[in-house]
């Protein structure tokens, strides 16, 4: 089969790859219909990956059709259209059964496309382990594009908002308006925010957030603008969706007293200097971490069906898998208003 594989810094190749095959009785093979490039994939693209491996298939977002099932698979059958959670759990322990795969006790937790341990989703076909748990039939009323956003981006944005303690009447700042940041803007309003400041350096992205009802703020002016708009109080909650040292520090500075800062951007800095004095003086709550996708599907599917969330609107680019290298380049450069980039076979 064909797949996108990582061979080094900015070296993503459309290459021949070993066919996806069943390795266990609880696996399924999914023929990819659409897959996405995530902001966290850029860490690998930039040569700062999550393992020392090379030559592995990348990507962790995909939807498609089940074409083969293991003997013990019960919930899925050939022909089912499914969405694949970006991270896989053992599906058997208590935390997994509650949807919290980041607390998996069965040593089965893994993310697609970080190494050869679990090959990625930017491929013509994907092996899904523990498939009854890690892949769900696409619910009625959910489009393919919406299902693709449910594999990682939207649940991550929603987690960021939940971790930020967003509630009715609160003032929110979202730092970083990539696809996940924009989804966080929309989710913040759904959770009751009265005002959302949308912070980014890119004018086009601020304009898109403004269409969602947010107040656009240039990242260079965010501190002054938000302090003036809130009469010095700052934001009740801040969602950081970039992951750089600078944007995390900005998020901490934008939060007001007793505020909450939620970081969902991936940060790999080993020696980040946390401004403990600032956090102590303000009495801040700080949360950071990855998303257990499955636990949020029951909340998010009805919100999409009811028209309260529209994650598909942030898809701006669709290219064939064979143009994957160019897709990565465009996504990194943010050219021509590029937001969510989707690949098809």
Going from N- to C-terminal start, the domains of the chain cover 2-152+292-344, 157-288
Q: What is the mean pLDDT of the chain?
A: 95
pLDDT score, position 336: 67
CA distance 296 to 61: 16
pLDDT score, position 209: 98
CA distance 184 to 199: 12
**Stretch 303-319: mean pLDDT, rounded?**
97
3-class secondary structure for 189-214?
HHCCCCEEEEEECCHHHHHHHHHCCC
Residues 6 or more apart whose CB falls under 8 angstroms from that of 28 comprise 22, 66, 68, 69, 70, 73, 76, 82, 127, 128, 131, 135
Q: Greater confidence, 109 or 8?
A: 8
pLDDT score, position 154: 98
Q: Give 171-217 pLDDT, tens digit per residue.
A: 999 999 999 999 999 999 999 999 999 999 999 999 999 999 999 99
pTM of the shown model? 0.96
Q: Positive or negative, the Cα torsion across 185, 189, 192, 193?
A: positive
pLDDT score, position 37: 97
Strand partners, 13: 5
CA distance 200 to 181: 10
Give the Å distances, CA to CA, from 76 to 66, 118, 174, 244. 8, 20, 38, 40
Q: Give 81-115 pLDDT, tens digit per residue.
A: 999 999 999 999 999 988 889 899 987 688 999 99
CA distance 268 to 275: 17
Please report, rounded to a whole number, the percentage of residues in the chain having pLDDT higher than 90: 90
Same fold, 2-152+292-344 and 157-288: no
Could you tell me which CATH class the domain 157-288 is placed in?
alpha beta
Q: Give 32-78 pLDDT, tens digit per residue.
A: 999 999 999 999 999 988 888 999 999 999 999 999 999 999 999 99
Q: Give 107-149 pLDDT, tens digit per residue.
A: 768 899 999 999 999 999 999 999 999 999 999 999 999 999 9
Q: Give 239-251 pLDDT, tens digit per residue.
A: 999 999 999 999 9
Residue 301 pLDDT > 90, yes or no? yes
Superfamily per CATH, domain 2-152+292-344: Medium-chain alcohol dehydrogenases, catalytic domain (3.90.180.10)
pLDDT score, position 334: 79
CB 127 within 8 A of CB 285: no
């Amino acid at each position: 089969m064909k797949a996108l594989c990582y061979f080094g810094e900015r070296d993503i190749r459309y290459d021949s790859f070993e066919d996806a095959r069943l390795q266990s009785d609880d696996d399924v093979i999914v023929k990819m219909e659409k897959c996405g490039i995530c902001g966290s994939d850029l860490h690998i693209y930039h040569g700062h990956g999550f393992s020392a491996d090379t030559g592995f298939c990348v990507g962790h977002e995909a939807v498609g059709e089940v074409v083969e099932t293991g003997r013990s698979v019960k919930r899925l059958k050939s022909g089912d259209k499914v969405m694949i959670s970006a991270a896989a759990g053992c599906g058997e322990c208590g935390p997994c059964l509650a949807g919290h795969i980041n607390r998996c006790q069965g040593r089965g937790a893994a993310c697609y496309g970080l190494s050869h341990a679990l090959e990625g989703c930017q491929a013509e076909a994907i092996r899904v382990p523990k498939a009854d748990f890690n892949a769900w039939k696409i619910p009625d009323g959910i489009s393919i594009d919406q299902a693709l956003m449910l594999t990682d981006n939207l649940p991550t944005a929603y987690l960021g908002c939940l971790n930020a303690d967003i509630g009715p009447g609160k003032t929110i700042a979202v730092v970083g308006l990539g696809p996940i940041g924009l989804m966080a803007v929309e989710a913040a309003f759904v959770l009751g925010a009265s005002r959302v400041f949308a912070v980014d350096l890119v004018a086009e992205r601020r304009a898109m957030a403004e269409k969602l009802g947010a107040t656009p703020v240039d990242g260079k002016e965010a501190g002054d603008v938000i302090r003036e708009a809130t009469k010095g109080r700052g934001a009740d909650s801040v969602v950081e969706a970039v992951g750089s040292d600078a944007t995390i520090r900005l998020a901490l500075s934008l939060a007001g007293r007793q505020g909450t800062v939620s970081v969902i951007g991936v940060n790999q800095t080993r020696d980040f200097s946390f401004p403990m004095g600032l956090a102590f003086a303000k009495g801040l709550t700080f949360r950071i971490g990855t998303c257990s996708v499955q636990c949020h599907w029951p909340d998010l599917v009805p919100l999409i069906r009811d028209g309260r969330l529209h994650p598909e609107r942030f898809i701006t680019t669709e290219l064939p898998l064979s143009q994957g290298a160019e897709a990565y380049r465009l996504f990194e450069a943010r050219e021509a208003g590029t937001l969510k980039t989707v690949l098809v076979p």
